[in-house]
Amino acid sequence: MIRKLVLFLTLIISFPLFSMETYFCDKKLESLPILEGGRLKPLYVTAEESIKYLVGKYKTEGLTRTQMYCLLSLKEALKKDALGLKIKIEHVKILELLGLTQNEPEITYEKLSQNSQQVRFAVVREKRETSLKKALEKLLNQIHLYEKISNGEHWVLPKKINGNIEWLPLISYFTEEDFNGVHSQGVLFENIKKDFSSKEGDKYLFELYFLKLHLPGWCLLFTLLALASMVLFKNFKIVLGFSTLTIIAQVALLVGRIMISGRAPVTNMYETVMFSGFGALLLGMILGHFLKEKIYVYLGLAYNMCTLLMMNFASSLISDSISPLVPVLRDNFWLSTHVTCVVLSYGSLALSWVLANVTLIKKRFFNLPKEEETYYSKVIYNCLKFGTTLLFFGVMLGGVWADYSWGRFWGWDPKETWSLIVFCIYMAILHGKYTSWLPVEKFIPSVALAFLSVMMAWFGVNYILAAGLHSYGFSQGGAVFLTSFFVIQILLVVTTRSFKFGKK
């Protein structure tokens, strides 16, 4: 009886796979070269990025993203929507616009595409840069991407013509109206791949193998094992071993992205988050080695874990896609000096932020001896000195780059202004600590709150202000994340009741 029940459930679970015809849409297509976003990629990469942007799911009806992308691209040729992709609408006003409810917030892209004009009019009516307008613009981009894929125009393939490689959309390969030859197209794709590889080589396949390594996941695993080893084992060498594995995996991740993009890996939010966590852990290990202090390694691991959690689970907030740069960023020297200095400074300042919060929590809810609190303040002070120095050089190099690119050293651009604000805040804290104006009771909560300025300069300018010459760094969404971060940090400082000026 149990065996029959298991067989019955297996058939039910597997039914979508058997019921949907996938034609030639199989794993072999992942290595097919295509041109998308001005860059040569394996089909696997484009399928992952496109379907994730449309629905966010890894699998639908038992199909991988590559199969979903392939079937969606055949929609016009097949004269039917084989997938019926749906999107979940979250903004209340957009739900009202589309006639949906919070109980039933999903709508098929087929139906949404028919109402695209309505969405366009709504975008035009919104004059100010509100959250509604950003949500509408993103929805419009999703509709446009869906239409482009389903029309067979997004999938651009190489074709050897007179000994040269030309790029043609998928739809141009299929001329029969009823698409009777759909089952035999797999042979055609194999020939396309062979012709391209014989002419251009197969270096583009490195990105396919690189992504399939899932290095961010391995980095997170090694970091968690290192943190767990701190509790489970007394031997610090085990912690150092897992920390070293984390560094090696992150170096491989950074080098891989450099080889694919041909530039320093600090050009979007995903890469700056990745690089700041890596830099914080590396700095922590270096300081820990030379100062003979284990705590720096612990701090680096803790902050690195935060950044890796974002990289692995916050894909809607930070995208890992690699795109061509805007002209002003196409200078590897300035990109590798100015941006790297600023991002590394954020990582160093984050070490002080982590320890400041740990100190506040231990003092308020646990037993924290005065000697230990003084020791923590010394470690925080050391991290601040490194972070503020790196930020100073980053701001100065940014000014030189601005003069080189835009013809002026300083223009009070939002990014420039907030970088200066961060520098002034941390300089005031360093001065206050050095002159004893800020005793330990005030110094530690001041450091915890000061990191809010870093988050504003780093995320706030992109997610909230969305203005200025640094528009190439802007991203959609993230306002909820940033607001939550601010509220939690302020509540933590208030709850600990340590931030009381005028009392020692």
- 164-193 pLDDT, tens per residue? 888 888 877 765 444 444 445 556 777 788
Would 15 be classed as within a structural domain?
Answer: no
Among 324, 359, 391, the domain-final residue is: 324
* Residue 10 in domain: no
- Do 223 and 290 belong to one domain? yes
Q: What is the pLDDT of residue 57?
A: 59
Do 202 and 246 share a domain, yes or no? no
Which domain, by its residues, includes 418?
333-343+351-504
Question: Do 482 and 360 belong to one domain?
Answer: yes
Entry pTM: 0.85
List phi, psi (to 5°) of 86.
-120, 155
**Tokens of residue 175, six digits:** 């001329």
| Residue 284 placed within a domain | yes
C-alpha 81/C-alpha 150 separation (Å) is: 9
Beta-carbon-side half-sphere exposure of residue 40 (alpha carbons within 13 Å): 18
Residue 165 shares a structural domain with residue 283: no
Tally of structural domains, the chain = 3
Is 292 within the bounds of a domain?
Answer: yes
Q: Which long-range contacts (CB under 8 A, 24 or more apart) does 193-197 make?
A: 193/31, 193/32, 193/33, 195/158, 195/159, 195/160, 195/165, 196/33, 196/158, 196/160, 196/165, 197/33
Q: What are the CA-CA distances from residue 25 to residues 74, 165, 185, 275, 477 (Å)?
A: 10, 24, 10, 36, 33
Q: What is the pLDDT of residue 58?
A: 55
Question: Residue 445 is encoded by which pair of tokens?
Answer: 């909560």
Report d(CA 252, CA 48) in Å as an integer: 21
Q: What is the mean pLDDT of residues 376-404?
A: 90
Which amino acid is residue 51, in one-letter code? I
Same domain, 387 and 439: yes
- Say yes or no to pLDDT of 471 above 70: no
Q: Which of 324, 359, 376 is the last residue of a domain?
A: 324
- 183, 161, 148, 153: which is closest to 34 by C-alpha? 153
Asked if 297 and 246 count as a contact pair (C-beta separation under 8 A), the reply is no
Q: Is 322 helix (H, G, I), strand (E, B) or coil?
A: coil
**Between residues 188 and 153, the one the model is more confident about:** 153
Q: Does residue 36 form part of some domain?
A: yes
Q: Which residues does residue 108 pair with via DSSP β-bridges, in sequence order?
A: 86
Note the pLDDT of residue 335: 72
Do residues 468 and 474 lie in contact, with contact meaning Cβ atoms separated by under 8 Å? Answer: no
Does the residue 7 lie in any domain?
no
- Looking at the structure, tell me whether residues 318 and 415 fall in a common domain: no
The residue assigned the tokens 């912690």 is: 239
Percent of the chain with pLDDT over 70: 83
Mean pLDDT of all residues belonging to the chain:
83
Fill in the DSSP letter of residue 503: -
Is there a single domain that holds both residue 439 and residue 502?
Answer: yes
The answer, yes or no, to whether residue 250 has pLDDT greater than 90, is yes
Rounded-to-integer distance, Cα 283 and Cα 123, Å: 46
Domain identity same for 234 and 203: no
Q: Are residues 203 and 300 in the same domain?
A: no
pLDDT-derived band of residue 10, with 50, 70 and 90 as boundaries?
very low
Does the pLDDT at position 288 exceed 50?
yes
Same domain, 50 and 193: yes
Is pLDDT at 427 greater than 90 in this prediction?
yes
* Residue written as token pair 């954020």: 346
The answer to whether position 388 is within a domain reads yes
Grouping H, G, I as helix, E, B as strand and the rest as coil, residue 348 is helix
Among residues 207, 223, 250, the one where a domain terminates is 207
Residue 8 in domain: no
Q: Are 128 and 258 found together in one domain?
A: no
Specify whether the CB–CB gap between 117 and 101 falls below 8 A: no
- Which whole number is the average pLDDT over 139-162? 89
Q: How many Cβ atoms from other residues are within 10 Å of residue 107's Cβ? A: 17
Q: What stretch of H or E contains 444?
A: helix 440-455
Asked whether residue 135 falls in the same domain as residue 80, the answer is yes
